[in-house]
Amino acid sequence: MIIRVNGESKEVSVDLSVRHFLKEMSLDENRIVIELNAKVLPKSEFSRTILEDGDRLELVEFVAGG
């Protein structure tokens, strides 16, 4: 199935949780802010949220410095 990640199409497997998706992308879930279909997804929901065809993800992985 196809989802959109930061505006770009991406093919992902079915029954994939957000948490596993982040792992596949080598992203650190502690440094990530995700908006799923324009709504922020709390970190506590990462493992139980299953991606669906057509989902739109905006994600930011923060880096240190300030």
Partner 1 sequence: MKIFVNEIVLKYNGKKTAGAVQNCYKPEADVLLCNGAPVKADHVIKADDHLILIKRGEIPTKTDLEILMRSRNPRIFNSAIKGRTIGIAGVGGLGSVVAVALARSFVKKLILVDFDVVEPSNLNRQQYFTDQLGFPKVEALKANLLRINPYLEIECVNQHITAENTVAIFRDADIVAECFDCAEAKAMIVQQVLSNLTCKIVAASGVAGFSDLEALKYRKLSSRFYLIGDGESAAVPGQGLTAAKVGIAANMQAAKIIELLIEDYDDNKS
Give yes or no for residue 63 binding partner 1 (CB under 8 A): yes
* DSSP, residue by residue, 34-51: EEETTEE--GGGTTTPBP
CA dist., res. 27 & res. 30, Å (int): 9
Annotate each residue in 6-45 with x if it binds partner 1 (CB under 8 A) or - if it does not, as one string: ----------------------x-xxxx-x--x-x-xx--
To the nearest whole angstrom, how small is the minimum distance from the Cβ of residue 18 to partner 1? 13
Residues lying near partner 1 in the complex (CB under 8 A):
28, 30-33, 35, 38, 40, 42-43, 58, 60-66
